[in-house]
Amino acid sequence: MSQKFDVVVIGAGPGGYVAAIRAAQLGLKTACIEKYQGKEGKTALGGTCLNVGCIPSKALLDSSYKFHEAHESFKVHGISTGEVAMDVPAMVARKDQIVKNLTGGVAGLMKANGVTVFEGHGKLLSGKQVEVTGLDGNTQVLGADHVILASGSKPVDIPPAPVDQNIIVDSTGALDFQTVPAKLGVIGAGVIGLELGSVWARLGAEVTVLEAMDKFLPAADEQISKEAFKILSKQGLKILLGARVTGSEVKGDQVTVNFTNAEGEQQQTFDKLIVAVGRRPVTTDLLAADAGVDMDERGFIFVDDYCATSVPGVYAIGDVVRGAMLAHKASEEGVMVAERIAGHKSQMNYDLVPSVIYTHPEIAWVGKTEQALKGEGVEINVGTFPFAASGRAMAANDTAGLVKVIADAKTDRVLGVHVMGPAAAELVQQGAIGMEFGTSAEDLGMMVFSHPTMSEALHEAALAVNGHAIHIANRKKR
């Protein structure tokens, strides 16, 4: 055993690096192991989120939306631009620079907080020992009082459409197109598929999204998902529900995809095909046979409400455990575990983890949906407010969508906030803050919201719950 640490973290993604930094802040001697190498062939911290997920996709989404605005919307504001063109390699290079800056920033934070970083593959052995296989192939064993498993996830592969990262790509490959494909196919109408499809549709690609499920965005509130389907379809995303891909064939620079839907056997040819059907945990070679940590058949590690595994002193967080695969969920689990190791009684409210889809308009929600609450037999009151009635949204020429607030009919406690529209992610976070402290719809309605803001839509939706909205007609007065 070469070195001994209070805490050893395997994985430096948004769960792992946050856990390592927090543990070090609490006075624990901490090490973090990461094997991922970026485009420059150097170890890059930050995991999927910073390198090939949340951050680079948002960079492309923002760049492509600015192009869309210049091309389609500036004239509404009286702005003439002449011919507008997109330099795709420059857009991708900007994305890469943002990634480089942020991953370098994480490395700096690790150093500033005294975390020892090991470059290589980490593997949990018995007795809370961790084997590190360096990039040069040499191994060493670290001792630990506590181990945090945070190895993340990777895209799911499907046999009918094997990824070659050329014509058929996964979410990582879709971030690096150097030209806009004339025809783009996307398998999967989830968060990743819709976001990446939106990027390239804005730049001129003809996008077809093939979704095997018959329902669109089933995790979202039905009213929001129906509105989202309508708006995204109008934007140019051709979303085919109940479309099951059965095979594909690459010929030259194109791929022909076979799928079945309600109309029978279908076939379409694309210049590029993105496979975005979900992600799976990275637990291959993470645990020695005698490590003692229990996993299920899909590779997820069993943990309790505090992310403790079946082995005392060993924890697992983020995408390798139950729950949504979200960077912010992983980060908060990392903080909770580090603080519990240090003796604090930290916990996490899994009922209030927000979800966001960064299309435009954004789609976001926190808490329960109307259909879920009705299924549970909960009596509810619902208030909605359209952005079409928002003065700030009108001024910004950004009026698609609505805010929806759901409250318990008996107690008025807010049980869910659902938004499709401008700044949806920020508005939902306001709802989450209130819900964490047990806010009622009346409480939100009594608060003073600055004018004019997008946030006023949340205020009005809360007022509408009890029939008190000011800037729209109330459907039912109570």
- All residues at 6 or more sequence positions from 234 whose CB lies less than 8 Å from its CB, including other chains: none
The token pair that represents 394 in the structure block: 């009108």
- Helices then strands, counting H and E runs in the chain, come out as 12, 21
Angle at CA of residue 56, ends 455 and 135, nearest 5°? 140
Q: Identity (one letter) of the amino acid at 426?
A: E
Query: How far is C-alpha 363 from the chain's CA centre?
Result: 12
Integer CA distances (angstroms), 305 to 62, 146, 302, 323, 346, in order: 36, 17, 10, 11, 11
For the beta sheet containing 272-275, the strands, ordered from the edge strand earlier in sequence to the opposite edge, are 168-169, 272-275, 183-187, 206-211, 237-241
> Catalytic residue at 451?
yes
* CA–CA dist 372, 431 (Å, integer): 18
Report whether the peptide linkage leading into residue 361 is cis, meaning its omega lies within 30 degrees of zero. yes
Residue whose structure tokens are 């291959």: 284
Q: Are 433 and 406 in contact (CB under 8 A)?
A: no
* CA–CA dist 32, 107 (Å, integer): 11
3-state class (DSSP) for residue 390: coil
Integer CA distances (angstroms), 218 to 225, 241, 368, 437, in order: 8, 12, 12, 28
Q: Given 344, 451, 459, 468, which residue is catalytic?
A: 451
Q: Are 409 and 379 in contact (CB under 8 A)?
A: yes
Closest to 409 in 3D by CA, of 436, 374, 444, 385: 374
- All residues at 6 or more sequence positions from 81 whose CB lies less than 8 Å from its CB, including other chains: 70, 74
Q: Known catalytic residues?
A: 451
